[in-house]
Structure 1
Amino acid sequence: MNYFKNIKQFKFLILLGIICLLQSCSDFLEQEPGTQTSIEEQLKTKKGVLEALNGMYGDIRDVVNVPAFIVYSDIQGGNLKITPSAVGTIKGQFRVPTAITNFYSFDDSADNSNFSAFYGYAYEAINEANLILEFTDALTDATESEKNQIKAEALTARAYVHFLLSQLYSQNYSYTNDASHPGIVYNQKSIKNGLQYPSRESAANTYNYIINDIKKALDLYSDNLLQNGPVYSYFNKINAKALLSRVYLSKNDWQNAYETANDVITNSGVTLMNSANLIVQWEKPDLPISEILLEFSIPRNLEGTANISLSFYFGYTSPTVYSDYVASEDLINLYETDDLRKQLFLVQPLQTLINLQLVDRNYYFTKKFQGNPGYVAFRMSEQYLIRAEAALKLNNTVQAKTDINTIRERANATLLTDSENLEDAIFLERRKELCFEGHLFFDTTRNHKNISRNDGCQSLNCSMDYPSLKFVLPIPRNNTNINTNLKQNESY
């Protein structure tokens, strides 16, 4: 019990610092010396640092489980639509969930952003990672190998959360020819070092910092497993490389994307699920699929009961108990009849108000996230598709087709031939294979494609041409008011 109490105390101290930062409290550390001492007490032993590290993972889990973030990429890109209301006076009618009200129409508000919680949680997690990095070297009760492992995980976490922020608040890397457009604030110091009012880096610098952090981490990782619980829930050398390959892909660094994804595929020891297990693996109610590289598993209490999982957003229980989001037929219609992945949808009739009459209409609930699933951060299929795209850009069409066909053959889909448009084929394969895992919108903007949402779109703006200033979110107003060096995104 003391273990969880210490984590909560640590997170409270950090949150107190973040709140003070948001309220522009000057000289916070001088005004609150007790807080500084408490942080130093917490982080002066290996046990305390490991508790802090576990708390950092908890906050990253909070970041990726923000309701707006869970569905952002797929509902903006057109993979998701909203279900009709199940009960009450509005039964059968469509109501846009509060969590997405603003951004769904590409009109989020800096004053009341759907992503305010995400922004705050993200920089809180980054601050925790920085504190861990600042204190770990001074530990006297940890071996060098243990200290290196702690720093590797914290560096990877810092890179990962900054990367998520860059996807949401900065235009894609090739928005300008030299990536000179605004990136994000890249925090490399904790609030312990005093309040800072940094400016946003360019997109180019943002990516350089992300890549440098991951590379430093890769040099530090050891075989030490310092955390309790499933190994797939923590950063390690393999999933850090998976993150790096994704970052290189987003940067259009094709050679490095290819080599890094190839390294993961060849040397990780993790293999793709086979056809026979594809459906069964995704239907498991608790454990992740076997090809997972990193899953932020949902927390459980001392009795083993799970807290809120992704099924809250995608689950189906009965005709009157179901979640807000289902697959759009824009996505469903992309699958061939015999594609096994079409079996990953639970088809259920829901009463829908049409011409003032309640009638049954079929809706497609994903089977990926029923039961108690955690957040899928990285899995092996993505690495094959990264290698395929990078290979194509490097004019290695043979490898590109081989990797796409590896994924398609497993799904019993038609294999590609020489006559196919490989660029479009890769884009569509990513859309089908990685649906609801947070990729589509970013893939769309990265490829300079237009947004086109048809089936079930309840937005005021169902289509949006690239480029658009609305393809990034507004920085919450509180942050730009306090930090006058923090430039707001255009149009907000």
Structure 2
Amino acid sequence: MKYIKKLILSAAACTLLASSCTFDVLDDNPYYMGDSADQIFSDPKKISAAAVGMYDALQNAEYLGGRTQIYVDSRGLDVNPPTYFGPIANFNPTANNSTIENAWQGAYRTIYECNLFLQGIDGALASSIITQEEYNGYAAEAKFIRSIVYFYTLNLWGQMYVAKTENLGVPLILIPYDGGSAFTDAPKNTRSTINQCYDQIISDLTYAEENLKPNWGDDDYSNRARATKSAAQAMLSRVYLYTGDYDKVIANADKLIPSADGGAGKYALDLTVVDVFASPTSSSEIIFFVAMNSADNPNTNNALGQHYGASGRADITVSEVYQNLLSAKDTRKTKGLLSKDGAVYCNKYQKKSFDWAPIIRYAEVMLNKAEALVKKNKQVDATAVKLLSSVHSRSDADKTYTTADFATSEQLLEEILLERRRELAFEGHASFDLFRNKKGISAGRGGAIVPAIDYPSDYFALPIPSSDVEKAGGLLVQNNGY
């Protein structure tokens, strides 16, 4: 199997504030096998290698290498609140929680890598080291990666789900800070509004969609682990669903979903959900995942398979509520769940430390369109029912849906949202889907003595790390309640 090489674009990536940097900020030279930035971005071959290196930054063990997906799902209804992530899962973390601080820094390290690469190729284009076409492709990859990180960061720390006029998002940092400006300019970053953050995410994804390659030839690995035009279109279908622009959800989803006359059809549902994860490079459903291998992965403390897998750390178990969503014949239960020692575990991640971390796959795009159609048309939409039925019957052949099953559009919408829970469980959607649909958290999840958290709540947003708030001298506003 072909694996993307690890490339360290910088000695270590600078986090949001100068004093959080993990390297000497006075020495701002990035390295590639001993080369400085000038050497990297003056050589077309090294620029190409540096582009691949950004995906290693995306693999960050504290963030989108799997931990982010766990944080999103541990705050939902489908796993029992894990002790290991207790304060996050139980909505009672403090602003000095080290796990949250590591995640925050992990996000901005990846963003820094993208910004540093963009700055480097700006100079390479100006010096005619790369062509405009090459520049466009490289910039599209960097912006695609940056948009993904900002999407999750905004939904974790932004004041998304409380009623305020100008709700705060997260700091939008679009340049890399060098040694000097890290002390003077980085602490001045304030939080952008939610709308400003989404505008930037959409801008990055739109640029990516326009400039990314449709595919990487017959390279099955890169077509799933490296940004493509389809990956940007798929992410746009999600982002527009979150922002309520349903026409654009449908338009982007339709670029990937076969039409009645046979158009599109690049992706298809695998035989079972477990098959998606069992062999990622042969999956017909993966649009973009964060790739791992046995030598380069988030390790035993951070990997999805370690936390979810019955034979790993096994510290995240599946809730009875989720189990009851699935029929006895549903392969998401018979193959996707595993019982051991009186507990039930997710069986999607079987490689322990090197399962690929999910970002987006075809089943989600289908459900994105179905949800958008119902919310837009406010009726029992036949196409939405067909999409719902296709996703569900893949796993539960005894159950198909027709329009006659739904008396109202509200009933259809609720079933689509339940299908998202069944289908996308343990992949980093649970709490986001609840909150954006104005649903709160019920009491006593998994038997835990946890009070209900009704929508809306300040505590849906994680606290900004207190260390960064303090160093910003009042410029970086803390979320309410912390």
TM-score when scaled to structure 2?
Answer: 0.84
Please tell me whether the aligned partners of residues 388 and 416 of structure 2 are also in contact (alpha carbons under 8 angstroms): yes
Q: Which has the higher strand share?
A: 1
Please tell me whether the aligned partners of residues 162 and 458 of structure 2 are also in contact (alpha carbons under 8 angstroms): no
**Counterpart residue identity of residue 79, structure 2:** L
Tell me the residue number matched to 1:272.
268
How large is the Cα RMSD of the aligned pairs? 3.1
Q: How does 1:142-221 map to 2 (within 5 A)?
A: 142-172=130-160, 175-176=162-163, 180-192=166-178, 194-195=181-182, 196=185, 197-221=188-212
**2:247 corresponds to 1:255:** yes
**2:118 corresponds to 1:112:** no
Please tell me whether the aligned partners of residues 270 and 380 of structure 1 are also in contact (alpha carbons under 8 angstroms): no
CA–CA separation in structure 2 for the residues paired with 1:408 and 1:5: 37
Match of 1:376 among 354, 358, 377: 358
Match of 1:236 among 209, 228, 233: 228
Match of 1:427 among 397, 404, 417: 417
3-state DSSP of counterpart to 2:289: strand
Gaps of 5+ in 1: 83-94, 351-360
**Counterpart residue identity of residue 183, structure 1:** G
> C-alpha displacement at 1:183, in angstroms?
0.9
Please tell me whether the aligned partners of residues 170 and 193 of structure 2 are also in contact (alpha carbons under 8 angstroms): yes
Spell out, residue by residue over 1:454-477, the C-alpha distance to the aligned partner (whole angstroms, 9 max, x if none): 55243x525211111110000111
3-state DSSP of counterpart to 2:268: coil
More displaced stretch, 55-64 vs 239-248: 55-64
Please tell me whether the aligned partners of residues 238 and 268 of structure 1 are also in contact (alpha carbons under 8 angstroms): no
Please tell me whether the aligned partners of residues 262 and 383 of structure 1 are also in contact (alpha carbons under 8 angstroms): no
**2:415 corresponds to 1:406:** no
More displaced stretch, 416-425 vs 250-259: 416-425
CA–CA separation in structure 1 for the residues paired with 2:141 and 2:355: 23
Q: Are residues 270 and 343 of structure 1, via their aligned partners in 2, closer, same or farther at CA, if it must alter by over 3 Å? A: farther
3-state DSSP of counterpart to 1:364: strand
CA–CA separation in structure 2 for the residues paired with 1:35 and 1:153: 19
Equivalenced residue count is 449
3-state DSSP of counterpart to 1:377: strand
**Counterpart residue identity of residue 316, structure 1:** A
**Counterpart residue identity of residue 45, structure 1:** D
CA–CA separation in structure 2 for the residues paired with 1:166 and 1:61: 18
**2:278 corresponds to 1:293:** no
Tell me the residue number matched to 1:135.
120
Q: Are residues 126 and 467 of structure 1, via their aligned partners in 2, closer, same or farther at CA, if it must alter by over 3 Å? A: same
Please tell me whether the aligned partners of residues 245 and 260 of structure 1 are also in contact (alpha carbons under 8 angstroms): yes
Spell out, residue by residue over 1:18-51, the C-alpha distance to the aligned partner (whole angstroms, 9 max, x if none): 49713599xx87x447669933333332233233
Q: Are residues 409 and 349 of structure 1, via their aligned partners in 2, closer, same or farther at CA, if it must alter by over 3 Å? A: closer
Tell me the residue number matched to 2:213.
222
Spell out, residue by residue over 1:287-311, the C-alpha distance to the aligned partner (whole angstroms, 9 max, x if none): 463200011111343xx99965421
Spell out, residue by residue over 1:425-479, the C-alpha distance to the aligned partner (whole angstroms, 9 max, x if none): 1111100010001111001000111212555243x52521111111000011121
3-state DSSP of counterpart to 2:7: helix
3-state DSSP of counterpart to 2:10: helix
Q: How does 1:29-178 map to 2 (within 5 A)?
A: 31-32=26-27, 38-62=36-60, 63-65=62-64, 68-81=67-80, 96-97=83-84, 100-139=85-124, 140-172=128-160, 175-176=162-163
Q: Are residues 342 and 414 of structure 1, via their aligned partners in 2, closer, same or farther at CA, if it must alter by over 3 Å? A: farther
Tell me the residue number matched to 1:447.
437
3-state DSSP of counterpart to 1:155: helix
Q: Are residues 49 and 204 of structure 1, via their aligned partners in 2, closer, same or farther at CA, if it must alter by over 3 Å? A: same
Please tell me whether the aligned partners of residues 144 and 227 of structure 2 are also in contact (alpha carbons under 8 angstroms): yes
CA–CA separation in structure 2 for the residues paired with 1:221 and 1:72: 30
CA–CA separation in structure 2 for the residues paired with 1:305 and 1:185: 28
Please tell me whether the aligned partners of residues 73 and 442 of structure 1 are also in contact (alpha carbons under 8 angstroms): yes
Q: Are residues 332 and 7 of structure 1, via their aligned partners in 2, closer, same or farther at CA, if it must alter by over 3 Å? A: same
Match of 1:365 among 329, 333, 345: 345
Spell out, residue by residue over 1:204-243, the C-alpha distance to the aligned partner (whole angstroms, 9 max, x if none): 1111111111112222223584999532101111011111
CA–CA separation in structure 1 for the residues paired with 2:277 and 2:213: 33
Gaps of 5+ in 2: none
Q: Are residues 218 and 285 of structure 1, via their aligned partners in 2, closer, same or farther at CA, if it must alter by over 3 Å? A: closer
CA–CA separation in structure 1 for the residues paired with 2:252 and 2:37: 37
Tell me the residue number matched to 1:357.
none
**Counterpart residue identity of residue 473, structure 1:** L
> C-alpha displacement at 1:119, in angstroms?
0.8
CA–CA separation in structure 2 for the residues paired with 1:268 and 1:337: 34
**Counterpart residue identity of residue 204, structure 1:** N
**2:19 corresponds to 1:22:** yes
Please tell me whether the aligned partners of residues 149 and 220 of structure 1 are also in contact (alpha carbons under 8 angstroms): yes
CA–CA separation in structure 1 for the residues paired with 2:386 and 2:199: 31
Please tell me whether the aligned partners of residues 64 and 375 of structure 1 are also in contact (alpha carbons under 8 angstroms): no
CA–CA separation in structure 2 for the residues paired with 1:157 and 1:394: 29
**2:465 corresponds to 1:476:** yes
Spell out, residue by residue over 1:387-436, the C-alpha distance to the aligned partner (whole angstroms, 9 max, x if none): 01110011152222121112122222342513260121111110001000
Please tell me whether the aligned partners of residues 186 and 206 of structure 1 are also in contact (alpha carbons under 8 angstroms): yes
> C-alpha displacement at 1:268, in angstroms?
5.4
Please tell me whether the aligned partners of residues 211 and 244 of structure 1 are also in contact (alpha carbons under 8 angstroms): yes
More displaced stretch, 158-167 vs 195-204: 195-204
Q: Are residues 436 and 215 of structure 1, via their aligned partners in 2, closer, same or farther at CA, if it must alter by over 3 Å? A: same
